[in-house]
Amino acid sequence: MIQIRNLTKVYGRRRALDGLDLTLGTGVTGLLGPNGAGKTTLLRCLATTLALSSGSIEAYGLDPANPVQRTALRRRLGYQPQDPGFYPHFTTFDLVDYVAILKEMTDRGRRHAEVRRVLGEVDLTDQARTRVRRLSGGMRQRLALAQALLGEPDLLILDEPTVGLDPEQRMLFRALVSRLGERRTVVLSTHQTEDVAALCERVVIMLAGRAVFDGTPRELASVAAGRVWLSEEAPVASRMFWRTADGRYRTLGERPPSAEAAVPGVEDGYLTLLGRDEEAAA
């Protein structure tokens, strides 16, 4: 169990997190929010790579502000940063092995077996001897996930893990993360509302350093109830609409002429919620 209380993080004069309260348990929680909402800052605080300005985090009874407890907590977490900045000349295997050494896996045989295991989990076994600079963007993304999986951490922190993955890899990723979330706490940030619908039991929407929504994907979708429409013609008077795969137009907001009601999804709920917030701020 992880308790985040009144967490504030200030960079100079910018308040990236503003008195955030959140509890995380077993399962997959998705963080959604516009650019600059504070998602990465929150994940870095959880990963103990960033000191808090005020407030507290308690994870498994450990306080990351205490150096000894911070080390203990680091042993129990895996972190996939947004931009891992890998050494380009390392091979895939050596890079993960290097992280495993940093994670104090001292027994060489067991460590190598663990490196092979995590490379297998992310489907990179065939690239074990490939240098990092020769990997595609999606492969690097999977490499970043592999190192986070080392040692089967209780807490898995993933910052935009699906960026750059092709549709097949995205599907494999969702299956893997769903499986991992059965036994541990997984928290991930994403801009992909389909990821949230497909793999998160819980979704937290962040805006200006606060959590403005906390519920299930279904509850988020229902925020847009009565505001989603399908029509044959483009709705000229609407601001928010897009073409769907069947050639019809999906509109969010007021009902366009001759449109029929559609079942709202996570994206509809998310956009509606953000629109409401803009209205409230205006």
Ligand X SMILES: Nc1ncnc2c1ncn2[C@@H]1O[C@H](COP(=O)(O)OP(=O)(O)OP(=O)(O)O)[C@@H](O)[C@H]1O
| Contacting positions for ligand X (CB under 6 A) | 11, 14, 16, 33, 35-41
Partnered with residue 176 across adjacent β-strands are: none
Beta carbon of residue 39, minimum distance to ligand X (angstroms, whole number): 4
Beta carbon of residue 184, minimum distance to ligand X (angstroms, whole number): 22
Beta carbon of residue 87, minimum distance to ligand X (angstroms, whole number): 22
Of 51 and 261, the one with the shorter C-beta distance to ligand X is 51
Of 44 and 74, the one with the shorter C-beta distance to ligand X is 44
Of 10 and 240, the one with the shorter C-beta distance to ligand X is 10
Can you read off the two tokens belonging to residue 153?
A: 């951490």
Which residues have CB under 8 Å from 168's CB, separation 6+?
Answer: none
The answer to whether residues 184 and 155 touch, using CB atoms and an 8 Å cutoff, is yes
Of 16 and 262, the one with the shorter C-beta distance to ligand X is 16
Which residues have CB under 8 Å from 242's CB, separation 6+?
Answer: 249, 250
Cα(142)–Cα(132) distance, rounded to whole angstroms?
A: 11
As a whole number of Å, the CA-based R_g of the chain is: 21
Work out whether the CA dihedral 61, 66, 70, 71 comes out positive or negative. Answer: negative
Beta carbon of residue 16, minimum distance to ligand X (angstroms, whole number): 3
Of 16 and 197, the one with the shorter C-beta distance to ligand X is 16
Beta carbon of residue 186, minimum distance to ligand X (angstroms, whole number): 17
The answer to whether residues 122 and 135 touch, using CB atoms and an 8 Å cutoff, is no
Amino acid in position 176:
L
